[in-house]
Structure 1
Amino acid sequence: MKLQLCSWQEVESYLERHRGIIVPIGSTEQHGPNGLVGTDALCPEVIAHGAGEREGIMVAPTLSIGMAQHHLSFPGSMTLRPRTLIAVVYDVVQSLTRHGFSHIYFLNGHGGNINTVQAAFAEYYADYSLHNAPDCEAPGHLKLGNWFAGQRVKALSAELFGDREGSHATCSEVSLTYYAYPEAIKQVKMSPEIAPNGSFRDAVDFRRRFPDGRMGSDPSLATPEKGKQLFEAGIEDLLEDYQAFLAA
């Protein structure tokens, strides 16, 4: 169930039965020669919508711009400052809890968001503890899950791609977007076949060390067929983690 395609009455009716919601969150940034700029937002969105349709779970609009300053030397990349992303996540939580959503699960597609989103959660809980009675519990239970870190997805990625998976512009994420958007498939020869790996400091340093945007990957291996397998694995990982979150 997509929140943005519901009327307010339908949301109200949903809240009479369920109090959980999934919020896809990602980034808009370069993903190498054959990866889509929207990859990190599209991947959690696709999996969240698949899980939502299968189990009748409400899915919020995707937060598609994240903390990605290190990609700004590549055209098309966009970023929020960490303090801006904290404010966005905080306000989304405040809005949803006001209406009665009690369990808010953020499904993330971008490693650069992790620390900032966790900081937003800490701000939410700290404000509630500081401004309410000692025995008054915060109304929102919050969790951040990363689609790429699920047990099934990780095992399948290792099986399909081995050491060519890499850490940015990975075979898995490119495959998943190709499954979801086959009209956007791009045929590009990788040079070198496997990109270098390593650390970086800022946007200029990233472009210098990884000139085509990849880190340790060979996404020429990406196919829609592999993407479909990852889609199914991602849904299973998400549903298992989401149900455990609700139960806890």
Structure 2
Amino acid sequence: MIIEELTMPEFVAGLEKTRTVLIPFGATEEHGPHLPLSTDTLHATEVGRKLAARRPIFIAPPIPYGVCRSTSCHPGTISIRTETLKALAFDIVSSLYGQGLRTFVLLTGHAGGTHLSALIDVGEELLVRFADCRIAVLTEYMLAAKEGRGLIETEGDSHAGEIETSRILHSHPQLVKGTAAREFPDFPAGILVRNKRRCWPGGVWGDPGKASAEKGARLEGLVVAALERLVDQLETMEDY
């Protein structure tokens, strides 16, 4: 059930089927010279829609902004503060709770460490605020890298590389503009860098040349199946 497409009566009827909602978090962030700035948002939204076709679950409207530090100097990246992300997540979950939802999956297509930590922090706050809610916070990349480890050829592949290029070639091929060179960032350990493009000029972390739409379709299917298993576990687990 895609929330923005529902009417009021349809939302009420949906509550009779489930009290679980998935909230897709994304980013507007560079993904090399070949992938759209919306890549992370597309990933999280697409698997949410596929999951909703398999089971009763609400899918909230995606949040297309995230905390993007490593790519903040690259053209097109629009980053928000951790405080902003936490406030958005807190307010959205609180509002959905007020509407009757009790199980929340905060799925982020953007896997930045600071971004994820902010979502985990607010998830912990929400567990304290609402004693009868269940919350999961995870990145879409966690599932893709784990479930697709037998498919992925590039060791350490991450941002705009083999995995993400394959996924967009499958789900939104019209948005892929060619390919890009294999690249890995070279940030100095422990040192904060002001000019981040100097250490990561192309904005690719992996090898887009090994991507394919077929691989993307298989990865997406694996991610959706893993996400469904997680929702099953979250909905049936005992309180602890």
**Scaled by the length of structure 1, what TM-score is found?**
0.86
Residue identity matched to 1:241: L
Shift of the alpha carbon at 1:199? Answer: 5.2
- How has the CA–CA distance of structure 1 residues 107 and 83 changed in structure 2, closer, same or farther, with 3 Å as cutoff? same
Would you say the 8 A contact 1:24–1:45 is kept in 2? Answer: yes
Residue identity (%): 25
- For structure 1, which segment, 138-147 or 92-101, has the greater mean C-alpha deviation from structure 2 after superposition? 138-147
Shift of the alpha carbon at 1:70? Answer: 2.9
Q: Distance in 2 between matches of 1:199 and 1:242?
A: 39
Q: Distance in 1 between matches of 2:188 and 2:81?
A: 21
Give the corresponding residue for 2:215.
226
Gaps of 5+ in 2: none
Would you say the 8 A contact 2:154–2:162 is kept in 1? Answer: no
1:145 aligns with 2:138: yes
Shift of the alpha carbon at 1:72? Answer: 2.0
- Runs (4 or more) in structure 1 with deviation over 4 Å come to 196-203
How many residues are paired up?
Answer: 234
CA shift digits 1:134-186 (9 cap, x unpaired): xxx62432111222212x752424433232x5232231122112211111122
Give the corresponding residue for 1:134.
none
Q: Distance in 2 between matches of 1:29 and 1:38?
A: 7
Gaps of 5+ in 1: 129-136
Give the corresponding residue for 1:161.
153
Would you say the 8 A contact 2:162–2:208 is kept in 1? Answer: yes
Q: Distance in 2 between matches of 1:140 and 1:195?
A: 40
- How has the CA–CA distance of structure 1 residues 203 and 158 changed in structure 2, closer, same or farther, with 3 Å as cutoff? farther
CA shift digits 1:78-110 (9 cap, x unpaired): 111000100000000110000110001111112
Would you say the 8 A contact 2:68–2:78 is kept in 1? Answer: yes
Give the corresponding residue for 1:26.
26
- The correspondence of residues 66-105 of structure 1 with structure 2, limited to 5 A, is 66-105=66-105
Shift of the alpha carbon at 1:13? Answer: 0.9
The structure where helix makes up a greater share of residues is 1
- The correspondence of residues 51-66 of structure 1 with structure 2, limited to 5 A, is 51-66=51-66
Shift of the alpha carbon at 1:119? Answer: 1.2
Q: Distance in 2 between matches of 1:195 and 1:99?
A: 44
Give the corresponding residue for 1:133.
none
Q: Distance in 1 between matches of 2:18 and 2:56?
A: 10
Secondary structure of the 1:228 match is helix
Q: Distance in 1 between matches of 2:220 and 2:214?
A: 10
1:240 to 211, 229, 233: 229
Shift of the alpha carbon at 1:198? Answer: 4.6
1:171 to 162, 175, 200: 162
Residue identity matched to 1:98: G
RMSD: 2.0
- The correspondence of residues 116-127 of structure 1 with structure 2, limited to 5 A, is 116-126=118-128
